[in-house]
Amino acid sequence: MRVVQAYRFALDLSPAQERAVLAHAGAARFAYNWALARVKAELDQRAAERSYGVPEELLTPTIGWSLPALRRAWNAAKAEVAPWWKECSKEAFNTGLDALARALGNWSDSRVGRRAGRRVGFPRFKVKHRTVPSVRFTTGTIRVERDRKHVVLPRLGRLKLHESARKLARRLEAGTARVMSATVRRDSGRWQVAFTVEVDRPDRAPARPDGVVGVDVGIRHLAVLSTGELIDNPRHLTAARQQLRRLNRALSRKTGPDRRTGRQPSRRWQRASARLGRAHARVANLRRDGLHKLTTRLTREYGTVVVEDLNVAGMLRNRRLARHIADAGFAEIRRQLGYKTGWNGGRLIVADRWYPSSKTCSGCGAVKTKLALREREYACEVCGLVIDRDYNAARNLAALAAEFDTAGSGPVAARGADQKTRLRGQVAVKREPGTATADKTGTVPTQGGTTNRALTTVH
């Protein structure tokens, strides 16, 4: 199985090498701003002509937004607008043009409805002090040295790694990996290089191919499994808040930059800002490490993992819980499970967003009309079952795997509910031992009508 994955390593750059990387990042930013100004001028000109009543066929010709069109325009004008272009690799300018082509494409797709999610605004110009320095290399000499402590990139030469690249080097030497690109960027004061690699991964099977686990994520516990296991929420951001407050206060006492007056930040402000950035980076690294260990363990052990399709963007609008939800990383758990189940020979089943996993009794199938967030135990009034709220939801999620198998090998075709649960009174669903509740269409019959459960799978 061939997949595309990334290998990221920290760099130890010399002052000269850091200046060279910053020059390439500046070249990418220059090409981006130049092309954006050109496109914006053309759009403004066409809008002004329309306001004067000029027919569409007589308007100023449009400029192509694709990457090849932007590159042709740049190559024709670079000698005039950037006489210094030979000092940097062509990949630096291609980095900026590619970023603009993607941004314009996303904006255009969002306007006409071809892109889901929030509306994407028109691209804005990049400013030096508010843009992460980054440059991407796709051609030229890109290799890992024999000592596995150095990498070679076009125009930048031999760069020292902060750690060994033996994992990537072994794959490259065995011929099971091919480097597609390399991106150098500065993240929280540390320069890093990320290799996008096409890897030939061996076919693997989970330790329990027939095992099914339902995963209910939350704040009190990061995850509650249908097996009864409780995974504590480490709350890395909460643990570091005292240190972050102290560093923020220290930063506020320094002389920082002022855009209105053009004042430059002091050296002490820059050092304090770097300390604050490192503290935030440590929190992010701890969170990322914990989520990777959790998702790797689940996908290597169980053949089927069932999760909910949570509206994380909507949950973040809750001002009381937004910080805790962001600290837990619900969306990251779902994303990692999506590709790791494929790597390990399993499957991921995603329950519909409106499936009432917390309101449904895992014993008899009765559905409650309402269940307040403060009620941490589920008490069923039909069968008398009293169970932890999150554990009950995890068991319901695990039961959906049997319904998915009943509906067929592909995704269930039933339409998912498009609104919240609005049942009146208690609705009981009889569930025979060892059988699924849904029929072959994925529809669960109830006394008050039908409750559709749309399931999707990721192989």
Backbone phi, then psi, for 81, in 5-degree steps?
Answer: -85, -25
User: Which residues form the catalytic set?
Assistant: 216, 308, 390
Position 266 scores a pLDDT of 94
Q: Mean pLDDT for the chain?
A: 86
Task: Look at residue 295 and tell me whether its pLDDT is greater than 60.
Answer: yes
Distance of CA 295 to the CA centre of its chain: 15
Return d(Cα 323, Cα 239) in angstroms, integer: 13
Q: Tokens standing for 118?
A: 């929030």
Q: What is the DSSP letter of 329?
A: T
Task: Look at residue 188 and tell me whether its pLDDT is greater than 90.
Answer: no
User: Average pLDDT for residues 369-391, to the nearest whole number?
Assistant: 88
Whole-structure pTM value: 0.81
- Please report, for the chain, the start and end positions of each structural domain, with discontinuous segments joined by +: 2-14+134-200, 17-127, 208-343, 352-458
How many C-beta neighbours within 10 Å does residue 366 have?
A: 19
Residue with the bigger pLDDT between 405 and 328: it is 328
User: Average pLDDT for residues 290-300, to the nearest whole number?
Assistant: 96
Asked whether the beta carbons of 32 and 97 are under 8 A apart, the reply is yes
| Tokens 């290399």 sit on residue | 137
Residue with the bigger pLDDT between 426 and 404: it is 404
Position 313 scores a pLDDT of 86
pLDDT, tens digit (0-9, with 9 covering 90-100), for 114-148? 988 889 999 999 998 889 999 999 999 999 999 99
* Helix intervals (H) in 144-266: 166-174, 236-239, 241-252
Task: Look at residue 113 and tell me whether its pLDDT is greater than 80.
Answer: yes
Residue at 95: amino acid letter: T
Query: How distant, in Å, are the alpha carbons of 60, 304, 344 from that of 341?
Result: 51, 8, 5
Q: Tokens standing for 370?
A: 């309402």
Percent residues over pLDDT 90 in the chain: 65
Return d(Cα 17, Cα 340) in angstroms, integer: 36
Task: Look at residue 93 and tell me whether its pLDDT is greater than 50.
Answer: yes
Number of H helices, E strands in the chain: 11, 17
Which of 269, 263, 277 has the alpha carbon at shortest distance from 250? 269
**Strand ranges (DSSP E) for 64-145?**
134-137, 143-144
Asked whether the beta carbons of 343 and 204 are under 8 A apart, the reply is yes
Position 384 scores a pLDDT of 86
Return d(Cα 112, Cα 212) in angstroms, integer: 41
Return d(Cα 216, Cα 359) in angstroms, integer: 13
Q: How confident is the model at residue 433 (pLDDT cuts 50, 70, 90)?
A: very low
Return d(Cα 134, Cα 441) in angstroms, integer: 49
Return d(Cα 120, Cα 111) in angstroms, integer: 8
Position 448 scores a pLDDT of 33
Burial class (CB in 10 A: 0-12, 13-18, 19+), 6: exposed
Which of 339, 452, 376, 368 has the alpha carbon at shortest distance from 216? 376
Position 407 scores a pLDDT of 61
Task: Look at residue 96 and tell me whether its pLDDT is greater than 80.
Answer: yes
pLDDT, tens digit (0-9, with 9 covering 90-100), for 383-399? 888 999 999 999 999 99
Residue with the bigger pLDDT between 406 and 116: it is 116
Task: Look at residue 412 and tell me whether its pLDDT is greater than 90.
Answer: no
Beta bridge partners of 199: 3, 177
Asked whether the beta carbons of 207 and 297 are under 8 A apart, the reply is no
15 by DSSP, 3-state: which? helix
Q: How confident is the model at residue 459 (pLDDT cuts 50, 70, 90)?
A: low
Q: What is the DSSP letter of 121?
A: P
Asked whether the beta carbons of 385 and 361 are under 8 A apart, the reply is yes
Task: Look at residue 434 and tell me whether its pLDDT is greater than 50.
Answer: no
How many C-beta neighbours within 10 Å does residue 137 have?
A: 25
Taking the CA atoms of residue 316, residue 319, residue 320 and residue 324 in that order, the dihedral angle to the nearest 10 degrees is 40
Which of 245, 243, 271, 244 has the alpha carbon at shortest distance from 256? 271
Return d(Cα 207, Cα 300) in angstroms, integer: 6
Position 117 scores a pLDDT of 80
Task: Look at residue 417 and tell me whether its pLDDT is greater than 80.
Answer: no
Position 451 scores a pLDDT of 37
Q: How confident is the model at residue 280 (pLDDT cuts 50, 70, 90)?
A: very high
Element (H, E) at 18: helix 15-51
Return d(Cα 404, Cα 113) in angstroms, integer: 31
Residue with the bigger pLDDT between 446 and 114: it is 114
Q: Tokens standing for 190?
A: 């540390």
Q: Tokens standing for 338?
A: 């999506």
Return d(Cα 12, Cα 6) in angstroms, integer: 19
Position 161 scores a pLDDT of 96
Burial class (CB in 10 A: 0-12, 13-18, 19+), 286: middle
Position 409 scores a pLDDT of 45
* Helix intervals (H) in 253-329: 267-301, 312-315, 322-328
pLDDT, tens digit (0-9, with 9 covering 90-100), for 230-252? 999 999 999 999 999 999 999 99
